[in-house]
Amino acid sequence: MKNKYLLLVLICGVLLYSCSTQKTVSLKSKVNNMVSEYNAIDDWEYNLTSGISGEFITIQKNKLLALWSVNRPILFYGRIKETQNFDDLHYYIIIERNTLVNFKYFYYPEVRLSLIYPKDKFDSFLEQHPDFYDNYGFNNSIALIADIESVSSETEIDDEGGNYDILIGHGNMSNILYIETDNY
């Protein structure tokens, strides 16, 4: 009797692993297709940090701007922090970097994007993912393609009253892809 349950648990585990692996491969394939379609830069973080992973690196605004100002869009992994109306046809969307999805490179200051995106495209995206805002940071993970036109810096105050710097890339979003964080 015990062996029967053990075998059942083992089979369920293999099936769950197989499904998770297939989702991961499918998602990576979708991201790669999006990068290819837009001829986007997907290694800017590697270049920004000189390939150093697993430790905090201080980055410079001018180096980030140089990496993003090459007349090609970038691939960015993030989560939506805020959405506002820009005009009748567009949203203004603030995107934070999401280390739950892409946790290889750590750097300071924090990098965000401030992007314009058509309302009809974003509303359609939300219709396809109705639970998108249910669990901040987990359900609302995205990969996106964006053209960055400029980079600004800002200082914000954290919960303890201390200052921290942010570099913000400004531009237009071309495409967005939903990421299930537990499957990437």
User: What would the pLDDT profile of 18-46 be if each residue is shown by its tens digit?
Assistant: 433 444 557 789 999 999 999 999 999 99
Q: What whole-number distance in Å separates Cα of residue 85 and Cα of residue 145? A: 20
Total domain count, the chain: 1
How many CA within 13 A on the CB side of residue 182? 7
Q: What whole-number distance in Å separates Cα of residue 104 and Cα of residue 49? A: 10
Please give the pLDDT value at position 102.
66
pLDDT in tens, 142-180: 999 999 999 999 999 888 888 989 999 999 999 999 987
What is the model's pTM? 0.81
Provide the percentage of residues in the chain whose pLDDT is more than 70. 79
Q: Is the pLDDT of residue 3 over 60?
A: no
Q: Residue 150 sits in which domain range?
A: 2-183
Angle at 111 between CA 147 and CA 46, to 5 degrees: 80
Nearest to 44 by CA among 24, 80, 70, 79: 70
Can you tell me whether residue 111 is helix, strand or coil? strand
Mean pLDDT taken over the chain: 83
84 — pLDDT class (breaks 50, 70, 90): very high
Of 26-35, 71-80, 96-105, the one with minimum mean pLDDT is 96-105
Nearest to 91 by CA among 102, 80, 99, 105: 80
